[in-house]
Every structure is written in C-alpha cells, then in structure tokens.
C-alpha cells in the first residue's frame, strides 16, 4: 500500500491535535465560587485559594498551568481552589478587595494569609500557596 504525503501530513496533524488535549486531562479541579461553598471550606479549616480569573486575561492563562502543577503536589491535596469570574462576579471580586483579574488570595480556614496580583513566577506562587497550609 502506498501512502501519500497528504496522508502523512493529515496523520501528523491529527496526532498533534490529539496529544494537545493531554495537558488539560490532568488539570487540577477548580470550583466555581459560591458563598456557601467558600464558607463551608473555611468552616472545615481547609487551605483555600481564591483565583480571580478572566478568560481573556493572558496573565490568568499563564497562571493556570502553574497552579495546576503546584496543586498536584501531595502537600496541597486538601487545597480547595475557587475560581471567581472577574467579569461576571463583580460583587464577589469587590468583596475580596481585588482591583484586577489575575489576583490570587490564599486562606487558612477563615483567615486570609496572603495574596498576589499578576504574578506568573512558579516559585512566588508556590510560596503563596504554602501560606495556606
């Protein structure tokens, strides 16, 4: 059987497309923010990350794989990640005192223990998440 260049090009494109989805298959679970879920996590004393996120924000997009990687570490197995939509949840954004998207806020139970804005350095985000433990 003879294969054409078109066949190989199509096969290569299909393989690339299929493999590109593998990176998202292991993403850490984030929970859309609700007051009730947040308060329950606080009451349970869980480590919490509030991620003020906008789908159009390049900084938010850069933070996502870093957060996913760090949250997959066994020491963060109990970390509860709440995603707050910057555009659609303005009262919540304001309630957290966030001025802009790409704001990360960590809590240890009911106490805020740290925050950062616009940071995409893995080491700095790791240090921030450590403050939730």
Q: What is the pLDDT of residue 84?
A: 96
52 lies in some domain = yes
Q: How far apart are CA 56 and CA 131, in angstroms?
A: 28
Q: Among 3-7, 33-37, 67-71, 121-125, which stretch is predicted with the lowest mean pLDDT?
A: 3-7
Name the strand (E) or helix (H) holding 27: none
Position 20 in a domain: no
d(CA 62, CA 59): 5
Q: Name residues whose C-beta falls within 8 Å of residue 103's C-beta, 6 or more positions apart in sequence.
A: 50, 52, 96, 115, 116, 117, 118
pLDDT tens readout for residues 5-61:
544 444 444 444 444 444 444 456 888 899 999 999 999 999 999 999 999 999 999
Would the pTM count as exceeding 0.85? Answer: no
Q: How many domains does the chain have?
A: 1
Q: Report CA 60 to chain centroid distance, whole Å.
A: 8
Assigned domain for 10 exists: no
pLDDT level of residue 4 (50, 70, 90 thresholds): low
Domain range for residue 78?
27-130
For residue 45, tell me if it sits in a domain. yes
For residues 105 and 119, the answer to whether their CB atoms sit within 8 Å is no
The reply to whether 121 falls in a domain is yes
Any domain includes 19: no
Q: What is the CATH number of the domain that holds 39?
A: 3.40.30.10
What residues are paired with 47 via a beta bridge? 108
Which tens digit of pLDDT belongs to each residue from 70-103?
999 999 999 999 999 999 999 999 999 999 999 9
Could you tell me the pLDDT band of residue 2, with boundaries at 50, 70 and 90? low
């Amino acid at each position: 059987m003879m294969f054409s260049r078109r066949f190989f090009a199509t096969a290569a494109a299909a393989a690339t497309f299929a493999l590109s989805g593998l990176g998202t298959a292991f993403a850490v679970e984030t929970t859309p923010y609700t007051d009730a879920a947040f308060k329950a996590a606080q009451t349970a004393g869980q480590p919490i990350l509030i991620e003020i996120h906008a789908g159009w924000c390049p900084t938010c997009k850069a933070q996502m794989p870093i957060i996913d990687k760090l949250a997959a570490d066994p020491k963060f197995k109990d970390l509860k990640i709440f995603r707050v939509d910057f555009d659609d949840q303005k009262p919540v954004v304001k309630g957290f005192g966030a001025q802009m998207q790409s704001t990360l806020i960590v809590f240890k139970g009911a106490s805020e223990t740290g925050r950062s804005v616009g940071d995409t350095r893995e080491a700095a985000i790791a240090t921030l998440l450590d403050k939730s433990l």
